[in-house]
Structure 1
Amino acid sequence: MSRLLCTLLLSLLALNVSAQSLNATVDRTRLNAGESVELTLESQDTTLFGKPDLQPLYELFEVLGTRQVNRLTNNGSAAQASTRWIITLQPKHSGYVVIPPLNLAQLQSTPITLHVQQGTSAADSRLAPVFIDASLDQESVYVQAQTVLTLRIYHSVSLYDDSSLSPLDMPQARVEPLGEPRTYEKDINGIRHGVIELRYAIFPQESGELLIPAQAFSATAVDRASSNTYNPFGPRPGKVVRVKSPEIPLQVKAKPASYPADAPWLPARAVSLSEVWSPQPDEARVGDSLTRSLLLKAEGLASAQLPPLPATQVNGLRRYPDQPQLANQASDNGLIGSREEREALVANREGAIALPAIEVLWWNTATDQLERSNLPPRTLQVAANPNLETLTVEAPRPGPVSTSTVQLWPWQLSSALLSLTTLLGFTLWWRARRQPAVLPNQQAGPNPRDLLDELKRTCLANDTQATRHALDAWARQQPETLADMAARFTPLSDALDGLNGALYSESGQHWQGRNLWLAIRSLPAVEDLEGTASQDTSALPPLYPR
């Protein structure tokens, strides 16, 4: 009897220890450098709250993402609950790397050893399902000159729409995107690849060596084997893929010593200077306005780098300038910047008026020499304007002043003033009668329209934290609480559940805010206590206007 009792006690103790353990597993133990691995931590203790301490992982791994999954399974007659934390890791080093033990309250996982093989060669990387390539159009440029960075992302597998690319952050250079990303297909070794191409114009601001940093691309590859069991309320079936572009060094040359010190530094492939007159300058007349448009266009420079053109300061012409118009245009060779300056010129005398030549100095980066773009001098032949000829009119001789007129005008002036003040008082009295006795209270707080625009921006940007703050600020301006709106409108309640799940279940990076915005956009108006429909202060434009 005592032996049976001991056996039962040991069995219960083993079950208790198993229920309170933190099990750690990985999807594979052998992987190549640059690939990611999924670590799964599972606990069946429902009394534990919080999440595991991931601090020991940061020394050897990059934590690409975490998500929490709560499961409830039936084992015969009893229901068993468990919690899983799925952590996506990318080793920082090759060789044998150990995933250290992780703690959750009093529980601790066991260590796991991974074998990370050396990185593949450039030729072998093209056999990967997703890889990235980066290149510059030239290896060295002058300071403030343009170099074009082309980034191509190749994928032979389908990707979800949660892909992201790290920004190109370069404090020592100015970066301008060249248009929208382009997508096309390319056949590599008999395998069709989708290509995402992005181009940037980079303008270094300091001479010396500049390192173009690597950009990280991450996406979820579609798992065709588990696509039939896709759960719309759970995590997407697939594997998180993360690749990095190579770092590229760039040699930045200083401004040539032969360049004039008093001229603005303009390194470009081509510069043009042109002018347009309206009307034509040969039709100039005294007092008429001539509009002169000067256009400076540079291939390989941004519009903000173009200097102001010399003003037309000539005796005999009055000048009325407009604000300069700056524009950038993306081309196959990079950025084309333009600066247009318009001025109205009015001649105040007849005869010939000479306009000086306009010259712009620039450095030709293609031929590596100093160039000059200029407009030749011009002479305006200003004709007389018959409409401005003055007619001499004989002034009337002063006659005797009537005594009655001198005595009568003060009474006329006082009568006119009295009539005006009486009319003004009657107008103010009539306007005051039409105003309400008590002015309505002015709305306090921020503009509801601005709050709604901010909410739309954060939702479409898929930013969970900013969306939560913008949603609370918008709800405070509404006649009912956010809970009341969710209670009477089911799509809003479902969208709020998705937002809260992303905020508190470590899955914010997979949250899509479009459903929340659509729910707020379709929220029906609520009637007030007097039975009249309250005016919708947040009249929304259509999400996709036609």
Structure 2
Amino acid sequence: MNKLFFGKKVTTPLLYIALFFSALLSTQAMSAQAEATVSKNIVGVNEVFQLTVAVDDSVNTNSLDLAPLSPDFAYGRPSVSSGTSMINGVISRNTSWTVALAATKVGTLTIPAFQIGSSKTEPITITVLKSSKQTQAANANQSSISVEGINDKSTIYVGESINYRVRILIGEQMDQASLAPPYGDGLTATQVGQDAQNEVVQNGRRYIVITRNYQITADKPGNITLHGAKFSGSVIKGSRGFGSTLTMPVDKTAKNIELTIKAKPSNYKGLWLPTSDLQLNQVWQPSVNGKTTVDAKVGEPITRILTLRIKNIAQSNMPNISLTYPTSVRSYDEKPEYSEGNGYTTMTLKQVIIPRETGKIELPAVSINWWNTQQEKQQTTKVDGLTLNVTVDPNASSTITPPALTTPPVVTPPNNANVNNAHSNVAQHDYWQWATAVLALLWLITLGLLIKARKAQPVSNTEIVLQSGTTNVEQALKQAITKRETVQIQTYYHQWKQQQHEKLSANPELAQQLDNAVAEIMASTYSQDRQQWNDKRIMQLLDKAQQLKATASRTSSLSDLDPK
């Protein structure tokens, strides 16, 4: 079938292609966004500042009309730039105008919205003062760095947790930035997840936003002050090029929060679990499809998976699920797995249960007592147990031929099938006894070898802890570098540097190189133009420091063996 398209006859496939690209172009045009930003929003009369208008599309360079700036602002000729880039196969285009402005009168003035094609910028409010001294004082009062702490609850019980979110806005180029966690008497703060970083524009100024989440757990009752998180660093003032710069220290602390911590009720019984929501679920493998009684075979494993989700509770306060199973089964518990998200701490426990004997076996139910902090009453959450009707697996028992204890020695051989059926339980019982004995013997041999190795190489507990801690901090530092988490890099680097103080003191050149590398990372991250930094250099320096540490350790060990 042929159709007319722009006055020409085309086939149906070509028509679909043309319509597709037409729709694609119109969608891109509709999705273009325009944004206006200024270098300052508090200025003096006739003080020159910078206005930037950008649109994420390729448009005519004459599309920006600056006439609405008159008569409140004097402005020069704009500098126009445009570009096209491709990232992961996605093409992006942008056009921007940069123009110098100066306010012509005192007061509160507005840079109007600019219409560029189908896109429109937001207006910007400018405060214009008489003198430069007033301008400097006003800019000092309006800090370009702010720290905000937000909590979701102010009244909790002992053992309960709250979520505390720190939000940092940075509008200046910074160096040596770090964040200290909130603290309070009888409160424990634990960081949750990784830092999040993005950008926002507020009243025409661009800010880098860093968000970090903490879990605050109460350890004792009373009215307690939660002191806000503290952000420290140095603001770099002056030229961004090769000119002189001035570094000014800055400390910003979030507001304190008053918390009311309630004590455990005197009539509560059982393990203390204060929370607004507790969920306990279980899954059986193979699936029981909601049945309370199922058939099973001797030696055939059954898997029980328990999942416990508790809101606003630390992982250290999660209960241990310990079940007592009958001696007619063997049970094996895997190590619990923990995860956190949406204010919940989740524990998953997997158990493998193997019947040892035939007959009816009752697997116990699981019940957990907890305190509902919303309704302020004790509740019990329970999942049912399971009844097993256990029989012998005919395929497994056919391979076992126990001796015929009661059959006299005659020429005619006994009926093997009858013997197997008569003694199947005995054979299964003997099998598990032998397996248990072999496992116990292997365990004793392994224990003896470990004790012998420990006597041959005595190492104090203090040394083990120090080595483990050093390794953990170094690994955490390298992971932060790999993930490009700059605030964590700063924190872990200071911890690592303290642990390596003696080694770095002996090599001041390497220590200075490491300090410079971390300083470059922080400066690149918190500058407004945000250049990419190279992680290979600091990794190489850390590896070099590790080699020096290993050499020093070997030298120390050899000196201990010197008879002098």
TM-score by length of 2: 0.48
Specify the structure having the higher radius of gyration (Cα).
1
Decide which structure has greater helix share.
2
TM-score by length of 1: 0.50
